[in-house]
Amino acid sequence: MTLNSPRGTKDFFGNDIKYRNFIINTARQLFYVYNYSEIITPAFEYTEVFSRSIGEETDIVQKEMYTFLDKKGRSLTLRPEGTASVVRALIENKLYSNRLPVKLFYIGNMFRYERPQKGRMREFWQLGVESIGIGSSIIDAEVIWLLNSFFKQLGFRNLILLINSIGCSKCRVKYILELKKYLKPFKGELCFDCQNRIDSNPLRIFDCKKEGCRKILEDSPKINSFLCSECKDHFEGVLNFLKILEINYEVNPNLVRGFDYYTKTIFEIISSDIKSAQNALGGGGRYDDLINQFGGPDIPATGFAIGIDRTLMLMKQQNINFDIKKEEPKVYVIVMDKNYQSFALEVVKFLRDKNFACDINFKIKNLSSELKLAEKSSYNFAVIIGEDEVNTGNITIKDIDKFKQYKINWKSQKNKIIKLIWSKK
Protein backbone atom coordinates (compact mmCIF):
# COMPACT_ATOMS: atom_id res chain seq x y z
CA MET A 1 0.00 0.00 0.00
CA THR A 2 1.35 3.44 -0.85
CA LEU A 3 0.78 6.32 1.53
CA ASN A 4 -0.44 9.72 0.41
CA SER A 5 -0.29 13.07 2.16
CA PRO A 6 -3.46 13.96 4.11
CA ARG A 7 -6.25 15.63 2.13
CA GLY A 8 -5.76 19.39 1.86
CA THR A 9 -1.98 19.30 2.37
CA LYS A 10 0.75 19.68 -0.22
CA ASP A 11 4.41 18.87 -0.84
CA PHE A 12 6.58 21.65 -2.24
CA PHE A 13 9.56 20.91 -4.48
CA GLY A 14 11.24 21.98 -7.72
CA ASN A 15 9.90 25.18 -9.27
CA ASP A 16 7.36 25.75 -6.48
CA ILE A 17 10.23 26.08 -4.03
CA LYS A 18 11.77 28.77 -6.24
CA TYR A 19 8.49 30.69 -6.29
CA ARG A 20 8.03 30.25 -2.55
CA ASN A 21 11.54 31.42 -1.78
CA PHE A 22 11.09 34.39 -4.07
CA ILE A 23 7.84 35.32 -2.27
CA ILE A 24 9.37 34.88 1.19
CA ASN A 25 12.62 36.66 0.33
CA THR A 26 10.73 39.60 -1.16
CA ALA A 27 8.63 39.81 2.00
CA ARG A 28 11.64 39.57 4.33
CA GLN A 29 13.43 42.33 2.46
CA LEU A 30 10.35 44.59 2.63
CA PHE A 31 9.72 43.85 6.30
CA TYR A 32 13.28 44.93 6.95
CA VAL A 33 12.76 48.14 4.94
CA TYR A 34 9.59 48.93 6.95
CA ASN A 35 11.39 48.09 10.21
CA TYR A 36 9.55 44.92 11.24
CA SER A 37 11.36 42.17 13.13
CA GLU A 38 10.60 38.48 13.08
CA ILE A 39 8.73 36.49 15.69
CA ILE A 40 8.37 32.71 15.69
CA THR A 41 5.59 31.22 17.82
CA PRO A 42 4.64 27.55 18.31
CA ALA A 43 2.51 25.83 15.67
CA PHE A 44 0.05 24.83 18.42
CA GLU A 45 -1.34 26.70 21.40
CA TYR A 46 -3.84 26.08 24.18
CA THR A 47 -7.23 26.07 22.44
CA GLU A 48 -8.42 29.08 24.42
CA VAL A 49 -5.85 31.31 22.71
CA PHE A 50 -7.86 30.95 19.51
CA SER A 51 -11.41 30.46 20.77
CA ARG A 52 -11.26 33.58 22.95
CA SER A 53 -9.73 35.84 20.31
CA ILE A 54 -11.17 34.70 16.98
CA GLY A 55 -14.63 34.33 18.57
CA GLU A 56 -16.69 31.33 19.70
CA GLU A 57 -19.31 31.94 17.00
CA THR A 58 -16.96 32.14 14.03
CA ASP A 59 -16.73 29.38 11.42
CA ILE A 60 -13.07 28.93 12.26
CA VAL A 61 -13.67 28.17 15.92
CA GLN A 62 -16.91 26.26 15.45
CA LYS A 63 -15.93 24.05 12.52
CA GLU A 64 -12.39 24.45 11.32
CA MET A 65 -9.93 24.01 14.18
CA TYR A 66 -7.65 21.02 14.52
CA THR A 67 -8.19 20.53 18.24
CA PHE A 68 -6.91 17.56 20.22
CA LEU A 69 -6.21 16.52 23.79
CA ASP A 70 -2.60 15.85 24.69
CA LYS A 71 -1.57 12.93 26.89
CA LYS A 72 -2.45 14.90 30.01
CA GLY A 73 -5.90 15.81 28.71
CA ARG A 74 -5.12 19.47 27.89
CA SER A 75 -6.92 20.89 24.88
CA LEU A 76 -4.48 22.08 22.23
CA THR A 77 -5.13 23.47 18.74
CA LEU A 78 -2.97 23.74 15.62
CA ARG A 79 -2.89 27.46 14.88
CA PRO A 80 -5.53 28.52 12.33
CA GLU A 81 -4.03 32.03 12.01
CA GLY A 82 -1.13 34.09 13.34
CA THR A 83 -2.46 37.11 15.23
CA ALA A 84 -3.77 35.32 18.33
CA SER A 85 -0.42 33.60 18.90
CA VAL A 86 1.52 36.84 18.44
CA VAL A 87 -0.73 38.59 20.96
CA ARG A 88 -0.28 35.73 23.43
CA ALA A 89 3.51 35.93 22.96
CA LEU A 90 3.52 39.72 23.24
CA ILE A 91 1.79 39.60 26.62
CA GLU A 92 3.67 36.59 27.96
CA ASN A 93 7.08 38.09 27.08
CA LYS A 94 6.06 41.70 27.85
CA LEU A 95 7.28 42.76 24.43
CA TYR A 96 5.28 45.98 24.76
CA SER A 97 7.36 47.30 27.65
CA ASN A 98 9.83 49.30 25.54
CA ARG A 99 9.15 51.57 22.62
CA LEU A 100 5.80 51.45 20.84
CA PRO A 101 4.83 50.44 18.23
CA VAL A 102 6.17 46.91 18.40
CA LYS A 103 6.43 45.89 14.75
CA LEU A 104 6.56 42.14 14.24
CA PHE A 105 6.30 39.78 11.29
CA TYR A 106 5.85 36.02 11.08
CA ILE A 107 6.01 33.31 8.45
CA GLY A 108 4.35 30.01 9.23
CA ASN A 109 2.00 27.19 8.41
CA MET A 110 -1.64 27.46 9.47
CA PHE A 111 -4.28 24.75 9.78
CA ARG A 112 -8.01 24.91 9.08
CA TYR A 113 -10.34 21.98 8.61
CA GLU A 114 -12.10 23.36 5.51
CA ARG A 115 -13.34 21.55 2.43
CA PRO A 116 -10.26 21.61 0.20
CA GLN A 117 -10.60 23.22 -3.21
CA LYS A 118 -8.48 25.37 -5.53
CA GLY A 119 -6.77 27.96 -3.34
CA ARG A 120 -8.13 26.45 -0.13
CA MET A 121 -6.01 24.01 1.83
CA ARG A 122 -6.12 22.42 5.25
CA GLU A 123 -2.48 23.25 5.82
CA PHE A 124 -1.47 26.51 4.18
CA TRP A 125 1.23 29.12 4.66
CA GLN A 126 0.91 32.71 5.68
CA LEU A 127 3.20 35.62 6.18
CA GLY A 128 1.89 38.46 8.24
CA VAL A 129 2.70 41.54 10.25
CA GLU A 130 1.39 43.03 13.48
CA SER A 131 1.98 46.67 14.40
CA ILE A 132 1.17 47.00 18.07
CA GLY A 133 0.72 49.99 20.33
CA ILE A 134 -0.40 52.97 18.22
CA GLY A 135 -4.03 53.78 17.46
CA SER A 136 -3.66 56.53 14.90
CA SER A 137 -4.67 56.18 11.29
CA ILE A 138 -1.12 56.65 9.97
CA ILE A 139 -0.33 53.13 11.24
CA ASP A 140 -3.29 51.64 9.35
CA ALA A 141 -2.00 53.39 6.25
CA GLU A 142 1.53 52.11 6.79
CA VAL A 143 0.38 48.51 7.12
CA ILE A 144 -1.74 48.77 3.95
CA TRP A 145 1.17 50.47 2.20
CA LEU A 146 3.38 47.50 3.07
CA LEU A 147 0.76 45.02 1.83
CA ASN A 148 0.42 46.95 -1.41
CA SER A 149 4.20 47.27 -1.94
CA PHE A 150 4.64 43.54 -1.42
CA PHE A 151 2.29 42.57 -4.25
CA LYS A 152 3.69 45.32 -6.47
CA GLN A 153 7.23 44.06 -5.94
CA LEU A 154 6.20 40.52 -6.81
CA GLY A 155 5.03 41.85 -10.17
CA PHE A 156 1.22 41.86 -9.74
CA ARG A 157 -0.60 44.69 -11.43
CA ASN A 158 -4.39 44.23 -11.38
CA LEU A 159 -5.12 43.59 -7.75
CA ILE A 160 -7.94 45.35 -5.95
CA LEU A 161 -7.67 46.71 -2.43
CA LEU A 162 -11.00 46.66 -0.60
CA ILE A 163 -11.35 48.67 2.57
CA ASN A 164 -14.06 49.33 5.13
CA SER A 165 -14.52 50.46 8.70
CA ILE A 166 -16.53 48.29 11.06
CA GLY A 167 -16.27 50.83 13.86
CA CYS A 168 -15.45 50.35 17.50
CA SER A 169 -17.40 48.29 20.03
CA LYS A 170 -19.53 51.37 20.85
CA CYS A 171 -20.78 52.03 17.31
CA ARG A 172 -21.31 48.33 16.77
CA VAL A 173 -23.94 48.00 19.53
CA LYS A 174 -26.28 50.36 17.66
CA TYR A 175 -25.56 48.74 14.33
CA ILE A 176 -26.17 45.19 15.52
CA LEU A 177 -29.60 46.17 16.85
CA GLU A 178 -30.52 47.59 13.44
CA LEU A 179 -29.09 44.61 11.61
CA LYS A 180 -31.08 42.18 13.74
CA LYS A 181 -34.23 44.22 13.12
CA TYR A 182 -33.61 44.03 9.37
CA LEU A 183 -32.79 40.31 9.35
CA LYS A 184 -35.64 38.96 11.51
CA PRO A 185 -38.32 39.06 8.76
CA PHE A 186 -35.95 37.09 6.44
CA LYS A 187 -35.10 34.44 9.04
CA GLY A 188 -36.81 31.60 7.14
CA GLU A 189 -34.86 32.41 3.96
CA LEU A 190 -31.44 32.28 5.61
CA CYS A 191 -29.39 29.07 5.78
CA PHE A 192 -29.52 27.04 9.01
CA ASP A 193 -26.23 28.46 10.35
CA CYS A 194 -27.21 32.07 9.62
CA GLN A 195 -30.61 31.60 11.29
CA ASN A 196 -28.75 30.85 14.52
CA ARG A 197 -26.32 33.72 13.93
CA ILE A 198 -29.11 36.33 13.95
CA ASP A 199 -29.19 36.18 17.73
CA SER A 200 -25.68 35.00 18.55
CA ASN A 201 -23.47 37.03 16.17
CA PRO A 202 -25.28 38.60 13.19
CA LEU A 203 -22.08 40.16 11.78
CA ARG A 204 -20.87 36.67 10.90
CA ILE A 205 -23.73 36.34 8.37
CA PHE A 206 -21.60 38.55 6.12
CA ASP A 207 -19.04 35.70 5.94
CA CYS A 208 -21.62 33.27 4.55
CA LYS A 209 -20.88 32.25 0.97
CA LYS A 210 -24.44 31.01 0.26
CA GLU A 211 -26.14 32.89 -2.53
CA GLY A 212 -29.48 33.19 -0.64
CA CYS A 213 -27.88 34.78 2.42
CA ARG A 214 -25.73 37.09 0.32
CA LYS A 215 -28.79 38.33 -1.58
CA ILE A 216 -30.61 39.21 1.64
CA LEU A 217 -27.60 41.20 2.86
CA GLU A 218 -27.47 43.33 -0.27
CA ASP A 219 -30.08 45.75 1.12
CA SER A 220 -29.15 45.43 4.78
CA PRO A 221 -28.10 48.46 6.82
CA LYS A 222 -24.36 49.09 6.43
CA ILE A 223 -22.00 49.43 9.35
CA ASN A 224 -20.26 52.49 7.98
CA SER A 225 -23.41 54.59 8.37
CA PHE A 226 -23.32 53.85 12.12
CA LEU A 227 -19.79 55.02 12.85
CA CYS A 228 -19.23 57.34 15.80
CA SER A 229 -17.42 60.57 15.05
CA GLU A 230 -14.05 59.23 16.27
CA CYS A 231 -14.29 56.15 14.01
CA LYS A 232 -15.46 58.27 11.09
CA ASP A 233 -12.49 60.63 11.48
CA HIS A 234 -10.13 57.69 11.84
CA PHE A 235 -11.39 56.11 8.62
CA GLU A 236 -11.21 59.39 6.71
CA GLY A 237 -7.66 59.79 8.00
CA VAL A 238 -6.68 56.35 6.66
CA LEU A 239 -8.20 57.07 3.23
CA ASN A 240 -6.46 60.41 3.11
CA PHE A 241 -3.05 58.86 3.83
CA LEU A 242 -3.68 56.22 1.16
CA LYS A 243 -4.36 58.98 -1.36
CA ILE A 244 -1.09 60.68 -0.41
CA LEU A 245 0.72 57.37 -0.85
CA GLU A 246 -1.00 56.93 -4.26
CA ILE A 247 -2.57 53.62 -3.27
CA ASN A 248 -5.80 52.83 -5.10
CA TYR A 249 -8.63 51.40 -3.03
CA GLU A 250 -12.34 50.64 -3.19
CA VAL A 251 -14.45 51.30 -0.11
CA ASN A 252 -16.70 48.25 0.21
CA PRO A 253 -19.41 48.67 2.89
CA ASN A 254 -20.15 44.91 2.77
CA LEU A 255 -16.61 43.92 3.67
CA VAL A 256 -16.36 42.12 7.00
CA ARG A 257 -13.70 39.63 8.02
CA GLY A 258 -14.06 36.19 9.53
CA PHE A 259 -12.70 37.01 13.00
CA ASP A 260 -14.51 38.76 15.85
CA TYR A 261 -11.54 40.74 17.11
CA TYR A 262 -11.46 43.38 14.38
CA THR A 263 -12.32 47.03 15.06
CA LYS A 264 -12.32 50.12 12.81
CA THR A 265 -10.31 49.68 9.60
CA ILE A 266 -10.41 46.32 7.81
CA PHE A 267 -9.07 45.55 4.34
CA GLU A 268 -8.54 42.77 1.87
CA ILE A 269 -6.57 42.44 -1.35
CA ILE A 270 -8.32 40.43 -4.04
CA SER A 271 -7.73 39.38 -7.64
CA SER A 272 -10.50 39.48 -10.21
CA ASP A 273 -8.52 36.80 -12.09
CA ILE A 274 -9.38 34.19 -9.45
CA LYS A 275 -12.88 33.15 -10.42
CA SER A 276 -13.92 31.60 -7.15
CA ALA A 277 -14.94 32.69 -3.69
CA GLN A 278 -11.29 32.12 -2.73
CA ASN A 279 -10.12 35.29 -4.45
CA ALA A 280 -8.49 37.00 -1.46
CA LEU A 281 -4.70 36.98 -1.38
CA GLY A 282 -4.45 38.69 1.95
CA GLY A 283 -6.25 40.85 4.43
CA GLY A 284 -6.22 42.33 7.86
CA GLY A 285 -7.32 45.16 10.06
CA ARG A 286 -7.28 46.82 13.45
CA TYR A 287 -7.85 44.95 16.66
CA ASP A 288 -7.83 47.62 19.33
CA ASP A 289 -9.52 45.60 22.11
CA LEU A 290 -7.86 42.21 21.72
CA ILE A 291 -4.68 42.72 23.73
CA ASN A 292 -6.65 44.03 26.69
CA GLN A 293 -9.18 41.19 26.41
CA PHE A 294 -6.25 38.79 26.59
CA GLY A 295 -5.19 40.24 29.94
CA GLY A 296 -2.54 42.54 28.45
CA PRO A 297 -2.35 46.33 28.58
CA ASP A 298 -5.02 48.44 26.90
CA ILE A 299 -3.10 49.09 23.67
CA PRO A 300 -4.41 49.14 20.10
CA ALA A 301 -2.95 47.19 17.18
CA THR A 302 -3.30 46.41 13.51
CA GLY A 303 -1.94 43.84 11.08
CA PHE A 304 -2.45 41.64 8.05
CA ALA A 305 -1.87 38.10 6.78
CA ILE A 306 -1.01 37.07 3.23
CA GLY A 307 -1.62 33.57 1.88
CA ILE A 308 1.64 32.29 0.39
CA ASP A 309 -0.03 29.36 -1.43
CA ARG A 310 -2.63 31.52 -3.13
CA THR A 311 0.00 34.13 -4.06
CA LEU A 312 2.15 31.41 -5.61
CA MET A 313 -0.85 29.99 -7.50
CA LEU A 314 -1.74 33.38 -8.96
CA MET A 315 1.87 34.18 -9.90
CA LYS A 316 1.96 31.00 -11.97
CA GLN A 317 -1.49 31.59 -13.42
CA GLN A 318 -0.57 35.13 -14.50
CA ASN A 319 2.81 34.00 -15.82
CA ILE A 320 4.60 36.34 -13.47
CA ASN A 321 8.18 35.24 -13.88
CA PHE A 322 11.11 36.31 -11.88
CA ASP A 323 14.52 35.92 -13.44
CA ILE A 324 15.76 32.55 -12.24
CA LYS A 325 19.22 33.40 -13.63
CA LYS A 326 19.41 36.20 -11.04
CA GLU A 327 20.15 33.50 -8.50
CA GLU A 328 23.77 32.96 -7.50
CA PRO A 329 25.81 31.46 -10.37
CA LYS A 330 25.87 27.68 -10.26
CA VAL A 331 28.72 25.41 -11.35
CA TYR A 332 28.54 21.75 -12.34
CA VAL A 333 31.79 19.80 -12.11
CA ILE A 334 31.84 16.87 -14.52
CA VAL A 335 34.42 14.19 -13.79
CA MET A 336 35.04 11.67 -16.56
CA ASP A 337 36.73 8.81 -14.70
CA LYS A 338 36.77 7.35 -11.21
CA ASN A 339 40.53 7.93 -11.02
CA TYR A 340 40.05 11.70 -11.43
CA GLN A 341 37.53 12.02 -8.63
CA SER A 342 40.05 13.28 -6.07
CA PHE A 343 41.17 16.06 -8.43
CA ALA A 344 37.50 16.93 -9.03
CA LEU A 345 36.79 17.02 -5.28
CA GLU A 346 39.65 19.47 -4.88
CA VAL A 347 38.00 21.74 -7.44
CA VAL A 348 34.56 21.39 -5.80
CA LYS A 349 36.04 22.11 -2.38
CA PHE A 350 37.73 25.24 -3.69
CA LEU A 351 34.47 26.51 -5.24
CA ARG A 352 32.32 25.69 -2.22
CA ASP A 353 34.82 27.32 0.13
CA LYS A 354 34.34 30.44 -1.98
CA ASN A 355 30.55 30.03 -1.49
CA PHE A 356 29.74 29.20 -5.08
CA ALA A 357 26.76 26.87 -5.55
CA CYS A 358 28.33 23.81 -7.03
CA ASP A 359 27.73 20.10 -7.55
CA ILE A 360 29.49 17.12 -9.08
CA ASN A 361 28.36 14.09 -11.11
CA PHE A 362 28.54 11.25 -8.63
CA LYS A 363 27.97 8.66 -11.35
CA ILE A 364 30.36 8.57 -14.31
CA LYS A 365 28.44 8.90 -17.59
CA ASN A 366 29.30 10.38 -20.97
CA LEU A 367 30.15 14.04 -21.38
CA SER A 368 27.33 15.07 -23.68
CA SER A 369 24.59 13.70 -21.43
CA GLU A 370 26.18 15.45 -18.43
CA LEU A 371 26.37 18.74 -20.34
CA LYS A 372 22.71 18.41 -21.33
CA LEU A 373 21.81 17.82 -17.70
CA ALA A 374 23.82 20.90 -16.63
CA GLU A 375 21.93 23.03 -19.12
CA LYS A 376 18.54 21.62 -18.12
CA SER A 377 19.22 22.19 -14.43
CA SER A 378 20.11 25.87 -15.09
CA TYR A 379 23.80 25.63 -14.21
CA ASN A 380 25.76 28.61 -15.54
CA PHE A 381 29.11 26.82 -15.86
CA ALA A 382 30.37 23.28 -16.39
CA VAL A 383 33.89 22.40 -15.29
CA ILE A 384 35.23 19.33 -17.08
CA ILE A 385 37.83 17.08 -15.47
CA GLY A 386 38.97 14.45 -18.00
CA GLU A 387 42.18 12.83 -19.12
CA ASP A 388 43.47 15.91 -20.94
CA GLU A 389 42.76 18.18 -17.93
CA VAL A 390 44.51 15.85 -15.51
CA ASN A 391 47.57 15.47 -17.78
CA THR A 392 47.99 19.17 -18.56
CA GLY A 393 46.71 20.63 -15.26
CA ASN A 394 44.45 22.95 -17.29
CA ILE A 395 40.78 22.54 -16.44
CA THR A 396 38.06 23.21 -19.02
CA ILE A 397 35.31 25.66 -18.05
CA LYS A 398 32.26 26.00 -20.28
CA ASP A 399 30.07 29.09 -19.99
CA ILE A 400 26.74 27.40 -20.65
CA ASP A 401 24.76 30.58 -21.38
CA LYS A 402 27.33 32.03 -23.80
CA PHE A 403 28.45 28.74 -25.45
CA LYS A 404 32.08 29.75 -24.68
CA GLN A 405 34.88 27.55 -23.44
CA TYR A 406 38.03 28.42 -21.44
CA LYS A 407 41.16 26.50 -20.45
CA ILE A 408 42.46 27.67 -17.08
CA ASN A 409 45.47 26.37 -15.23
CA TRP A 410 44.31 24.88 -11.96
CA LYS A 411 47.47 25.51 -9.94
CA SER A 412 48.39 29.05 -11.07
CA GLN A 413 45.16 30.72 -12.28
CA LYS A 414 42.58 30.15 -9.55
CA ASN A 415 41.77 33.87 -9.46
CA LYS A 416 40.78 33.73 -13.11
CA ILE A 417 38.21 31.04 -12.27
CA ILE A 418 36.69 33.18 -9.53
CA LYS A 419 36.56 36.25 -11.79
CA LEU A 420 34.87 34.28 -14.55
CA ILE A 421 32.15 32.96 -12.24
CA TRP A 422 31.68 36.33 -10.56
CA SER A 423 31.04 37.92 -13.96
CA LYS A 424 27.62 36.17 -13.92
CA LYS A 425 26.37 38.00 -10.84
> Which spans of this chain sit near ligand AMP (rule: CB under 6 A)?
81, 112, 114, 119-121, 124, 126, 258, 280-283, 305, 307, 309-310
State the minimum distance, in angstroms, from the CB of residue 196 to ligand AMP. Answer: 21
List helix spans (H) across 168-325. Answer: 169-183, 192-200, 211-218, 229-244, 290-293, 308-317
Nearer to ligand AMP, 311 or 380 (CB): 311
State the minimum distance, in angstroms, from the CB of residue 310 to ligand AMP. Answer: 4
Backbone angles phi, psi at 117, to 5 degrees: -155, 180
Q: Which residue is nearest to ligand AMP (CB)?
A: 307
Those residues with Cβ within 8 angstroms of residue 75's Cβ, 6 or more apart along the chain or in another chain: 46, 47, 48, 67, 68, 69
Nearer to ligand AMP, 60 or 194 (CB): 60
Residue 68 CA: distances (Å) to CA of 45, 48, 73, 272: 11, 12, 9, 38
State the minimum distance, in angstroms, from the CB of residue 126 to ligand AMP. Answer: 5
Is residue 101 reached through a cis peptide bond, with omega within 30 degrees of 0 on the bond before it?
Answer: yes
State the minimum distance, in angstroms, from the CB of residue 49 to ligand AMP. Answer: 15
Nearer to ligand AMP, 119 or 329 (CB): 119
Nearer to ligand AMP, 274 or 418 (CB): 274
Residue 343 CA: distances (Å) to CA of 3, 170, 316: 43, 76, 42
Nearer to ligand AMP, 28 or 232 (CB): 28
State the minimum distance, in angstroms, from the CB of residue 290 to ligand AMP. Answer: 14
Nearer to ligand AMP, 72 or 115 (CB): 115
Angle of CA points 181, 204, 64, to nearest 5°: 150
State the minimum distance, in angstroms, from the CB of residue 283 to ligand AMP. Answer: 5
Strand intervals (E) in 42-83: 44-46, 67-69, 75-78
- Of 87, 106, 103, 166, whose CA–CA distance to 139 is shortest? 103
